[in-house]
Structure 1
Amino acid sequence: MDAVLSALTGAGLTVGDGVAPAGPALPPTGIYAVLYFDPGQSLPESLADQRTDFALSFQVTCVAPTPEKVRWATQRARMALHVPLVVAGRAAWRPEELGGPPIQRDDDVSPPVYYLPVQYRLQSTA
């Protein structure tokens, strides 16, 4: 989870973990991402049931004031997650993009914002 957060912040995105950045953490551009992680799952590496493999699904929801800016943020996130992530003591595969719905507009906030959720799956082994 820390590796995903680090990759996105390293790409210049402001990122919240389960919540939108607020107050001074919210960038003046209004562009940010929110990460949502599932609890993950340990998997056996062989019939001996040694559970050294791990799979994790997560969602990156990019938010911006315009559709163009939300596409920019989503592409920035995709580029950051295109390389294998570095996890100490583990070998991690490149996150697999699973897709998501099209851009949506949130009129429940003022001013309205656009958001685009993209789901990923990440696997690693010790």
Structure 2
Amino acid sequence: MDAVQAALEAQGLTVYLGGAPTASGWTPPDHFAVLYPDPGTAVRESLADERTDFDTTMQITCVGSDMVRALWVADRVRNAMAATPLTVEGRTCWPPEDLGGPPVQRDDDVTPPVWFVPVQYRIRSTPA
């Protein structure tokens, strides 16, 4: 999760974890990304049942003040995730696998309304 956040921030994106802030007085930027990680799975590296490999899915929700801005964030996310393998101390990371996502949607439950598109990635690593 930290490696994904660092890669996105290196692309100049504001990144939140598990949702955007909801505190009163918070004014959303005109674009940002929200990480929704799953806990992942410890995967067997061999028949010896040594579970040292790691496999997870990460959803990155790309949010913008309009449809074009949300798609711009999705483009920046894809650039960040494709640029180099993620760096995690003591691990070797496979290149993230882009699993796509649904079409861009408008969220009218917030004021002002925003546009968003979730993009999912499969992330795997093995011991270094």
TM-score bracket, normalised by the shorter chain, equals over 0.9
Deviations for 1:90-112, whole angstroms, at most 9, x for unmatched residues? Answer: 10001101111000001111111
Identity level (%):
55
Q: CA RMSD in A?
A: 1.4
Which residue is 2:124 aligned to?
A: 123
Matches within 5 A, 1:49-64: 49-64=49-64
Which residue is 2:93 aligned to?
A: 92
Matches within 5 A, 1:1-126: 1-21=1-21, 26-27=28-29, 30-82=30-82, 83-126=84-127
Task: Verify the 8 A CA contact 1:14 1:26 in the aligned structure 2.
Answer: no
1:26 and 1:113 mapped to 2: Cα distance? 10
Deviations for 1:7-35, whole angstroms, at most 9, x for unmatched residues? Answer: 011111001000114656843xx200100
1:56 and 1:9 mapped to 2: Cα distance? 20
Residue 46 of structure 2: SS of its match in structure 1? coil
Instruction: Give the residue type in structure 1 aligned to 2:81.
Output: L
Deviations for 1:50-96, whole angstroms, at most 9, x for unmatched residues? Answer: 11100010100011111111111100000000121011111000110
Instruction: Give the residue type in structure 1 aligned to 2:91.
Output: R
Could you tell me which runs of 5 or more consecutive residues in structure 1 were left unpaired when the two chains were aligned: none
In structure 2, do the counterparts of structure 1 residues 65 and 26 end up closer, same or farther at CA, with 3 Å as the change threshold? Answer: closer
In structure 2, do the counterparts of structure 1 residues 7 and 21 end up closer, same or farther at CA, with 3 Å as the change threshold? Answer: farther
Residue 47 of structure 1: SS of its match in structure 2? coil
1:57 and 1:111 mapped to 2: Cα distance? 30
Give the structure-2-normalised TM-score: 0.92
Instruction: Give the residue type in structure 1 aligned to 2:65.
Output: P
Instruction: Give the residue type in structure 2 aligned to 1:60.
Output: I
In structure 2, do the counterparts of structure 1 residues 107 and 90 end up closer, same or farther at CA, with 3 Å as the change threshold? Answer: same
Could you tell me which runs of 5 or more consecutive residues in structure 2 were left unpaired when the two chains were aligned: none
The Cα of 1:38 is off from its aligned counterpart by 0.5
Give the structure-1-normalised TM-score: 0.93
Q: Size of the alignment, in residue pairs?
A: 124
Instruction: Give the residue type in structure 2 aligned to 1:85.
Output: L
